[in-house]
Amino acid sequence: MKDNHKVQKITEMAEFNSAPGGYEVQFSLNTEDGSTMRLSCPQERLGQLIVGLLRAQELAGRERAKGGAAKMLVAAPMQAVELAVGISPGEQSVLLQLRAQTGLVLDFAIPLELAEQLSDGIPHAIRLTQSGALAGPTH
């Protein structure tokens, strides 16, 4: 794997497309030095890439919030607009699909023990929200 020591800042997403058959997403990124990086991502890894970038955005927002400099916009959670729940035949998991306001669809296979934690935690979070209480995660 080639290791570029100089970090290039992305200036724009120049183009994007689906590879033949829809099994890969191809895109080009222009960088500050004027070069174009052409990339391809297998469809099954695309969600992982997007979630990784969103997590990095969240970490960067936390770092900005810690600094004493002028306040910057801190990453906000994605707003879910659709939810689907199902079962995975033959597996000990619950399937959860969320569609975000941005159109991003996230699929999760949640092990039963975590699904039970969700079923306990969500009603508690709803009650706290309805009562106006401010609280963090309920784990």
> Would the pTM count as exceeding 0.75?
no
User: Helices in 1-139 by DSSP H: which ranges?
Assistant: 43-66, 112-131
Rg (alpha carbons) of the chain, rounded to whole number? 20
Question: What are the residue boundaries of the structural domains of the chain, listed by start?
Answer: 10-66, 80-131
CATH assignment of 10-66? 3.10.450
From the number of C-beta atoms within 10 Å of its C-beta (0-12, 13-18, 19+), residue 115 rates as middle
What are the pLDDT tens digits along the chain (139 aa)? Answer: 455 567 888 888 888 888 878 888 999 999 999 999 999 988 888 887 888 888 788 778 777 777 744 444 445 567 789 999 998 788 889 999 888 877 778 888 899 889 888 888 888 888 888 888 654 554 4
